[in-house]
Amino acid sequence: MAGGKSEQRDDWHDWLADMARQATTDDLRHFYAGFPSDSTCPVGDAPLIAIDLETSGLEPRHHAILSIGVVPFTLRGIGIGQRRHWILRPPQEFSGESVAYHHITHSEVEQAPDLADVLPDVLASIHGRIPVVHYHPIERRFLDRAVRQRTGTVFRFPLIDTMEIEAQRHRRPWRLRLRKLLRQSPESIRLNDSRIRYGLPPYEGHQAVLDAIGTAELLQAQIQHHYSSSTAVGDLWL
């Protein structure tokens, strides 16, 4: 975080309040002020929103966000009808490999808006909900850099990472050593591979909205199998 502030869970309440005061736009101020920052809230009562980004690469300094998909949900259900999807025009030209990988065409990108043009809608969709992602370094680093470049405001907030939940179970040192002794590869914690472990069907990957829905379903299954609806969100978020 900015100013050397750590990313410990106990810091988030003060961090969000500080950012609400420092935000450079009304939309960001409203977003930070309305973030559900009570770490003791049971996850079963929490309003959640799954977010997925498709990017032209893995490094925010050299690559860009191509699309954003979001879907609101709770542990009781998923708001499929409220899902949103934005295709964005990146500041850099992106490769044909990115087109094939993300099922986004050059013509779609050429006609797409810049993130600055849709940021108010994105913030409004997330407002009042705790974001859930699969592999948080992508969403956290890309969104922070993109929003900071356009507004001058740091864009950091608590989120729940379904990949981290899988890693806590399948990437423990003793488990890795055992699989190595058995000459087995580490279990994959990619989104579809994780879903399959819970009996969820695979989705065609690398489409932002579908991956957001897949992430929402995965968290519901993870809570059912490993936690409970009374688990505090502060025990889950990063």
What DSSP state is assigned to residue 159? -
Contact status, residue 132 vs residue 219, Cβ threshold 8 Å? yes
> Alpha helices of the chain — where are they, by DSSP H?
12-22, 26-33, 96-102, 106-110, 115-126, 136-151, 162-170, 173-181, 191-197, 208-226
d(CA 220, CA 34): 24
Residue 9 pLDDT: 47
Contact status, residue 71 vs residue 49, Cβ threshold 8 Å? yes
Contact status, residue 60 vs residue 145, Cβ threshold 8 Å? yes
Tell me which amino acid residue 164 is. E
The fold of 2-228 is Nucleotidyltransferase; domain 5 (3.30.420)
Residue 183 pLDDT: 56
d(CA 191, CA 206): 10
Residue 206 pLDDT: 72
The tally of CA atoms less than 13 A away on the side-chain side of residue 152 is: 5
Q: What is the tens place of the pLDDT at every residue in 167-206?
A: 998 866 545 455 555 556 678 999 999 999 999 998 876 7
Residue 4 pLDDT: 36
What DSSP state is assigned to residue 235? G
Query: How many residues would you count in the chain?
Result: 238
Stretch 57-80: mean pLDDT:
95
Sorted by where each begins, the domain ranges of the chain are 2-228
Q: What is the tens place of the pLDDT at every residue in 2-50?
A: 333 334 445 899 999 999 999 999 999 999 999 999 999 999 999 999 9
Q: pTM score, two decimals? A: 0.89
